[in-house]
Amino acid sequence: MLLVIDIGNSRTKWALAGDSGVLTEFEVCMNANIASSNLSAAAQKADNTLIANVAGEAMAQQIGRLLPPLTLKFLTASQQACGVTNNYLMPSKLGADRWAALIAAWQRTKHAAIVVNAGTAITIDAIDEKGAFLGGSIMPGLRLMHESLVINAAQLNVEEGVLQNFPINTQDAITSGSLNAVAGAISLMLKRLEKQCGWLPKLVLSGGDANKIAEALKLNLKQVIMMENIVLQGLVLLAKQ
């Protein structure tokens, strides 16, 4: 049994996977509460582990204390894996979460795609029709955008609103502005990839805010693929390679 762990900026997700690769016993926990989580219990059922960590060394050490007797194996992006070529200037510097997400998206689509993982930060990555990672961008997530305005603008300390075409209150204006910024960034990347490849790319969406972003984009449903736990799925594929 394989234990896969996705240590994000604010939350840690994990699941077990057998020979079929299907994720079971999925759990999620805020990083601050990881010591009191069920991760140790999951580790007792596993023979191996693969971890994607973007939360730093201190969090990695804390996770490590919960996993004995498993040997810790942290993912580092490589030049090539599972049909995907990594064209990052320094391949090993690509975030492990982005690499795992690209692997999962490519194995799902085998098609040129923009891969979006919307969490604390939002990553928007491009992969072409041959499985080559072309590059991507990172921007603040929706919550970070909202919090930035609350912290830095005294008159904008408001609750989350809803997406509107023409907002007529401050809550909706902030929420709509944030969603429009993300939707615009994704739309621009889709257009760039379409121009480069010569046909319409897929859009793979994952992360806690994926549904909100899909609503804001209003794309043809045939173009959009929703993938839950995309990093964990990629970790399973990489571990089986």
* Residues carrying an active site annotation: 97
- Token pair, residue 33, equals 């509460």
Which amino acid is present at 214? A
Residue position matching structure tokens 């830095």: 152
Alpha-carbon gap, residue 236 to 11, rounded angstroms: 19
Alpha-carbon gap, residue 41 to 181, rounded angstroms: 41
H helices of 1-118, in order, are 39-43, 57-64, 96-109
Answer yes or no: are the C-beta atoms of 180 and 111 closer than 8 Å.
Answer: no
Residues 6+ positions from 145 with CB-CB distance below 8 Å: 177, 178, 181
